[in-house]
């Protein structure tokens, strides 16, 4: 087997803990307990599961706890398979590749008050933020947790509930709360965020319709389609030597598409300056974005790490 570039952070499942009905907490660490790549409160990671699925989960622990990634996963029997695989197949000691953490609270945003609205297991991104804010005192916050009856991860929320910083709303007793009064008035130093099922995020968006977009954040259980540059278009690579056809999605690099398709291309800088991924092209309209090929070289070659295509079809000498 040809060696491939390492594209994920190697972690080992160090612990699995029950955390309420149908919920398990998974603790991932480096095999040698080295510090893991840093993250912001409320950040999320992609897990590359052994069965090939890639699924995104929020980190529940806080950034200062830097040798672990802790995720809470609710088993969704009718979900897309990620939570079932984690609950049913993953054991302590298993190796899981994860992405670098993304997203989370920006400490420099000048926010002094946070209002978090969570539906059930949607509490996970806010757990990390709440712990971080409670410990550092960087900003005031209230976490409204809306549940049918049982509080998920209750053992991890007890002290915050006692302090009144987590307010539980049980719909089985009081019905669905009106979100507007919970959110309060808009202000430049107030940030409101919601994570929960679709009906709740819809209510939240209506309640915050008049707010400045920068002060409102919504996380959905099912990720919306990624935002793509409106000028980016998908195209098809035809590989002249192997006869293979590879689709490049809008916004994807040719390099990523080739690697996904199992085509081994040498790479190094991935930014169009080193020349490692130079590939010949035979037919099409390549858009060169490298900073290394001379004009006459561009008539025959392109750099797959940065080049695009101005036509639906591009034939490469691969």
Partner 1 sequence: MLDTISADSAQSAARLGWTGVVRFLHLTPRAFLPMRAAESITLVAGRGIEGDRYMIGSEGGFYSHKPEEGRQVTLFELETLVALKRDAGIALGPEEHRRNVTVEGVPLNHLVGRRFWLGETLLEATRLSIPCRHIEEITGKAIFDPLINRSGLNCKILQGGTVRVGDAVRNAA
Residue 35 lies near partner 1 (rule: CB under 8 A): yes
Q: What's the closest the beta carbon of residue 71 comes to partner 1, in angstroms?
A: 18
> The sheet that has 95-98: what strands, in order across it?
54-58, 44-48, 95-98, 9-18, 23-29, 69-74
- Residue 156, token pair as written in the block: 């991890």
Residue 294 lies near partner 1 (rule: CB under 8 A): no
Residue 28 lies near partner 1 (rule: CB under 8 A): no
Residue 108 lies near partner 1 (rule: CB under 8 A): no
Nearer to partner 1, 34 or 185 (CB): 34
Residue 95 lies near partner 1 (rule: CB under 8 A): no
- The site that binds partner 1 (CB under 8 A) totals a number of residues, namely 24
Q: Which of 17, 18, 38, 313 binds partner 1 (CB under 8 A)?
A: 38
Nearer to partner 1, 177 or 261 (CB): 261
Q: By CB under 8 A, which span of 3-11, 12-20, 109-117, 211-219 interacts with partner 1? A: 3-11
How distant is the alpha carbon of residue 83 from its chain centre? 15
Residue 274 lies near partner 1 (rule: CB under 8 A): yes
Do the Cβ atoms of 297 and 318 come closer than 8 Å? no
Among 270, 303, 263, 264, CA closest to 286: 303
Residue 271 lies near partner 1 (rule: CB under 8 A): yes
Nearer to partner 1, 16 or 265 (CB): 265
Q: Which of 247, 268, 282, 300 binds partner 1 (CB under 8 A)?
A: 268
Q: Which of 273, 297, 298, 315 binds partner 1 (CB under 8 A)?
A: 273
CA distance 315 to 81: 37
| Interface contacts to partner 1, rule CB under 8 A | 2-6, 8-10, 30, 32, 34-38, 100, 266, 268-271, 273-274, 305
């Amino acid at each position: 087997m040809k060696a491939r570039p390492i594209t994920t952070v190697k972690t080992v499942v160090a612990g699995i803990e029950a955390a309420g009905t149908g919920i398990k907490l998974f603790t991932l660490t480096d095999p040698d307990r080295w510090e893991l790549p840093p993250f912001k409160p409320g950040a999320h990671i992609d897990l590359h599961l052994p069965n090939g699925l890639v699924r995104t989960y929020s980190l529940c622990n806080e950034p200062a706890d830097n040798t672990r990634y802790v995720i809470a996963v609710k088993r969704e029997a009718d979900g897309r398979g990620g939570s079932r695989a984690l609950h049913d197949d993953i054991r302590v000691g298993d190796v899981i590749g994860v992405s670098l953490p993304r997203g989370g609270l920006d400490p420099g945003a000048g926010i002094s008050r946070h209002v978090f609205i969570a539906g059930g297991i949607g509490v996970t991104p806010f757990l990390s933020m709440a712990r971080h804010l409670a410990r550092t005192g960087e900003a005031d916050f209230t976490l409204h947790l809306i549940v049918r009856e049982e509080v998920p991860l209750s053992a991890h929320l007890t002290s915050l509930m006692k302090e009144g910083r987590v307010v539980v709303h049980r719909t089985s007793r009081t019905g669905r709360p009106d979100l507007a009064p919970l959110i309060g008035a808009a202000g430049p130093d107030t940030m409101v965020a919601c994570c929960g099922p679709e009906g709740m995020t819809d209510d939240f968006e209506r309640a915050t319709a008049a707010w400045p977009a920068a002060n409102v954040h919504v996380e959905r259980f099912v990720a919306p389609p990624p935002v793509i540059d409106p000028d980016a278009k998908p195209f098809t690579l035809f590989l002249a030597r192997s006869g293979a056809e590879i689709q490049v999605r809008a916004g994807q690099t040719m390099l990523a598409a080739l690697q996904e398709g199992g085509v081994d291309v040498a790479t190094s800088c991935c930014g169009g300056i080193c020349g490692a991924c130079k590939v010949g092209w035979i037919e099409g309209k390549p858009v060169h974005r490298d900073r290394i090929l001379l004009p006459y070289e561009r008539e025959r070659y392109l750099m797959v790490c940065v080049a695009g295509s101005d036509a639906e079809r591009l034939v490469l000498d691969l």
